[in-house]
Structures are given as structure tokens and as C-alpha cells.
Amino acid sequence: MRCEVVAVGTELLLGQIVDTNSSWIGEQLALAGIDSHFQTKVGDNADRMEFCIRQALERSDAVICCGGLGPTQDDITRDVIAKIMGVEMVRDDKIAAHIRDIFEGRGRVMPENNLRQADVPAGASTIAQMPGTAPGLVCPIGDKVIYAVPGVPHEMREMMHGTVLDDLRRRGGDASVIRSRVLRTWGYGESAIAETLAERVDALDESGHATIAFQASGIEGIKVRITTKAADDAAAEAIIAAEEALIRELLGDYIFGIDDESMETVVLAMLRERGLSFAAAENLTGGILSSRMTALDPNLEVFRGATIAPHGTNQNAKAMSGEDRAVSAATNARDMIGTDIGIAALAPLEGEEHPPGTVFVAVSLPDRAEARTVALPGVLSRMRSYAVITALDLLRKRLSEDG
């Protein structure tokens, strides 16, 4: 069973609304074991909508049209589907009464144009779930089917869970599942990761057991996604676990987490497990780290605070190397706030000659300290965010060494 998604709305093309619906639908299709090879966005134009939907039907067994079911003149998904089916529109009196009841229940008079939402292509059935005024549609076309769901996310999701996914499984008759796992990495470039894993990618292309894909995600690092299709969850998990083990052997401690884990959640969990607290010197990052950490640790149980102060203005500091200044800043933050660990990220002093993007990060542990010089890309705002994750990553690695 192959299913495509066609997202309808000129606002999607203009960037006025981000199309999160298609990504969510794609995820649900994968979890249900339904192949989805194409997703399309199209504006509110009847000819272009018809072209996109017909093209999708040629390539796939089912099409989910998302959006264009409202009461206004540009909501024409129903009309386009009716044309593709070769049928007339029929007023569904039950749907019309239901829409009227919704308005009356809110103490409002229903505008007459809302009755357009009760028009259904002949031969189509309405979806039982109807949290808003727009009914969803199941529109058979020979041995294929078009589903029409609203663009309002919570309405769409209720219909997907309540009707569409089950109907797709029934039509497909395939009990297989598609599962993925994302390995999160930091400190290793996308091209370097791809080169390191090239032989494994080629081997999987030949075997067809799974696929490996890469995604550069800014301060979330480079993501390595393993995907497989198998008979059931247990079989899929076995394949993914085996591939993950092989990739971990190749990438080592560049991998910091999986799936939705972030560098912050990983470091917090490690510190909590060890009963340790930490503070930061945010001379360069200016509170970015504090903001990210307190969002996850609002009671300051692990992250106790940060210092933001000039460092390196006295003559002794100016004689120190950048890494030594970073260690000093991390130690001062630790001692001043009274934590077990301190971390820091500093920029070079004015007048020092370093390549663009040079940053000194350090971690000061109870028994030792360590600093690194790194080159971070981008303008200052991006470089500061990268510095936060890089300093946390250094802490993560040192904690991993301690067990």
C-alpha cells in the first residue's frame, strides 16, 4: 500500500504557515507500515490541484488531501475531488444539520456559506469524526481512494486516528511496520559521517534490510536515521538494534543521544544519575545556556546558575592562553556558585589573532580540568548557540569517561 499526501493551501507556498501536517501524517503512515514516497504542496487553484491529485493517484494507491474543506470560496478541495471522480456534488442534510447545531451550541447564527461544507461528492462517504464544521471524506476511485481531511491540525489528527489509518490498513492487507531510530551526533561533519558510514550504506542498499540517511540540524547536530520495514515491531527492533550497534562502533562518542534526546537532556540525566550539580561561565554565550537549561531544570536542582562577567581584563589573564582562561572561568563559576562542576565558553581577547569562529570551551571537575579550542561556524548568534552545545558535549564526554 502506497499513500501520498497532498497539502492544499496557497498560504503554505507563501510561507505564511509551516506545513507540519504533512510531516505528522508521514510519521503516522510510517508507524502503520504504509509506504509514502511523495508529499506535495499546492495552492488553492482548481487546475493545479487536479493535476497534483491525479498525478498522485497514478503513482500511489491512496491520496490524503489535507486542507481546503472550509466554507470560503477558496476552499475547493471537495469540488476538485468530485471532478476527478466524475460525479456531482450532493448536499448531505445530516451534515448540514450538524453544522447548524455546532453554531447554535455556541450561541451564534450559522452563515449560509457554511452549508457548502455539507456538499459531498456523490459516492463518497463522510468520516465519522467531525470535531469542527468540516467533514472529512472517503472517496473511492476504482480500487484506489482519496481521503480529504481538514487543515486544522487537531481536526485532521482525530480523523486520521479514528478512520483513515484503519481504513488504509484494511485496504492494504499488509501487517508490516516501518520503524526508525535517529542517532544524534555532535562534533563530526555531515560529509565526514557519510564517508565513515559509506560502506555500511552501500551494504544496506544491496541487502534492503534497512536504510541510513543523514540530516544536518544546526545546534541539534547531525542526525543519522536508521529505517527499516519488517513484519512486526520485534523484527524491526532487532534490525535497528543491530544497525545501531554497528554505527556506534564506527562513530563512537560522537553519538550523544537518540530520537528526541537533546544534548541538554542527556547531560542533565547523566548529572542527576551521579548526584552532581554544575554552573557555567557565560561570558560568550550571554545567558543562552541558562535559558536552555532552566527550561528543563526550572527548580535548579542540577544546573545552579551562571556568571556573566568580563574575564581577561587584568594583566595576568592577558598573559594566559585562551584555554587557560576558559579553565579559570569554569573554575570560578563552580566555586562562586558552589557546584561540583563548572563549564565555560570564551571568545579570544580583543587583539589576539585567531581564525574566525575560534572559541575556547572548558570543564572544571572536582579532580581535574580540561579545555579545548574549537572553530565554530556562522554569525555571532549562531556561534554562541554552537558554543553552548560544544561546552555541554565536553562535559558529557568527561562524565562518560568517569562511568
Torsion region of 35: left, alpha or beta (phi above 0 gives left; psi -120 to 50 gives alpha): beta
Q: What is the CATH number of the domain that holds 327?
A: 3.90.950.20
pLDDT given for residue 403 in this prediction: 63
> Which conformational region is residue 204 in: left (phi greater than 0), alpha (psi within -120 to 50 degrees), or beta?
alpha
Do 314 and 199 sit in the same domain of this protein? no
Does pLDDT of 73 surpass 90? no
Q: Is 177 helix (H, G, I), strand (E, B) or coil?
A: strand
Q: Which of residues 172, 200, 235 is at a domain's end?
A: 172
Residues 198-237 pLDDT 10s: 999 999 888 888 989 888 888 888 999 999 988 888 999 9
pLDDT digits (tens, 9 = 90+) for 288-299: 999 999 999 999
| 222 phi and psi angles, rounded to 5 deg | -95, 125
Cα dihedral 333→334→339→340 (10° resolution) = 150
Can you give the length of the chain in residues? 403
pLDDT value of residue 315: 55
Same domain for 166 and 181, yes or no, is: no
* Residues 155-187: tens digit of each pLDDT: 999 999 999 999 998 898 866 788 889 999 999
pLDDT at 6: 98
pLDDT for 102: 86
Q: Is the domain of 333 the same as that of 278?
A: yes
Mean pLDDT of all residues in 106-110? 82
Structure pTM?
0.73
**CA-wise closest residue to 343 among 300, 309, 298, 394:** 394
Does 333 fall in a domain? yes
Domain extent for 192: 177-258
Please give the pLDDT value at position 45: 96
Least confident segment among 32-41, 59-68, 81-90, 336-345? 32-41
Report the chain's mean pLDDT, rounded to a whole number. 91
- CATH number for the domain harbouring residue 201: 3.30.70.2860
- Same domain for 343 and 230: no
Say how far apart CA 375 and CA 386 lie, in whole Å.
10
Distance CA 225, CA 228 (A): 10
Lookup: cell for 49: 490541484
Q: Are residue 276 and residue 321 in the same domain, yes or no?
A: yes
**Averaged pLDDT for residues 16-42:** 92
Residues with Cβ within 8 Å of residue 225, at least 6 apart in sequence:
180, 181, 182, 183, 212, 213, 214, 215
Mean pLDDT value across residues 342-358: 90
pLDDT at residue 126 tops 70: yes
Residues 215 and 313 occupy one common structural domain: no
Within-domain flag for 264: no
Q: Which amino acid is at 34?
A: I
Helix (H) or strand (E) holding 129, with range, is none
Question: Do residues 149 and 45 both lie within one domain?
Answer: yes
